[in-house]
């Protein structure tokens, strides 16, 4: 949403804001394939892991301008992204194991405890599995000057 305000002496003010909400993505359990390499096996069906949390962002815009003629004006602008500085998790390590494994057909999370490597032993769980790998971008500012003629 945005609103223009006409001020005295050919001055202009423009203010705006936007809100974004995005549902968290599903996660998966990935393993290593003997031919294709790391993170190429969906141990359980794709997206069988936990969902990431929702992310929210409030962005704001403010512009102050002077009108020099019917088609000419100049604005000094300020945009603030993620105004409330939300820092939610946006991705996690989905590598469940670095062992060579095959998918568990019709499996569920309980079957992961007995996941077999292709060499016959138990697959070794990645200790970093499920830990955050990225977060929402922090609050950012953008300053600008815009002229129309």
Q: What is the largest CA-CA distance in the chain?
A: 82
Mean pLDDT, the chain, as a whole number?
A: 95
Model pLDDT for residues 88-144, shown as the tens digit of each residue: 999 999 999 999 999 999 999 999 999 999 999 999 999 999 999 999 999 999 999
Q: Which domain holds residue 92?
A: 2-148
Q: How far apart (Å, rounded) are the C-alpha atoms in residues 69 and 9?
A: 12
34 alpha-carbon distance from chain centroid: 31
Q: CB of 58 within 8 A of CB of 17?
A: yes
Specify the pTM: 0.80
40 phi-psi bin (left φ>0, alpha ψ -120 to 50, beta other): alpha
DSSP line for the chain = -EEEEEETTTEEEEEEEEEEEEPPPB---EEEETTTEEEEEESSSTT-SPBPPPEEEEEEEEEEEEE-SSS-EEEEEEEEESTT----EEEE--EEEEEEB---TT--GGGGGGPBBTTSSBPPBPTTTT-EEEE----EEEEEEEEE-
Model pLDDT for residues 30-68, shown as the tens digit of each residue: 999 999 999 999 999 999 999 999 999 999 999 999 988
CB half-sphere exposure, 108, CA atoms < 13 A: 1
Q: How many domains does the chain have?
A: 1
pLDDT the model gives residue 132: 98
Give residue for tokens 């969902």. Answer: 51
């Amino acid at each position: 949403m945005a609103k223009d305000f006409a001020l005295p002496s050919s001055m202009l003010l423009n203010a705006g804001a936007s809100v974004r909400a995005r549902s968290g993505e599903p996660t998966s359990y990935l393993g290593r394939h003997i031919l294709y390499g790391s993170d190429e096996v969906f141990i359980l069906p794709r997206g069988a892991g936990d969902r990431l949390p929702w992310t929210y962002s409030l962005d704001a815009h403010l512009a102050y301008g002077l009108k020099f003629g019917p088609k000419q004006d100049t604005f000094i602008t300020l945009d603030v992204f993620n105004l409330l500085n939300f820092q939610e998790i946006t991705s996690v390590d989905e590598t469940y194991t670095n062992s060579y494994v095959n998918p568990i057909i019709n499996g569920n999370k309980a079957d992961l405890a007995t996941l077999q490597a292709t060499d016959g032993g138990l697959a070794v769980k990645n200790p970093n599995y499920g830990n955050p790998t990225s977060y929402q971008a922090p609050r950012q500012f953008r300053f600008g000057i815009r002229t129309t003629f």
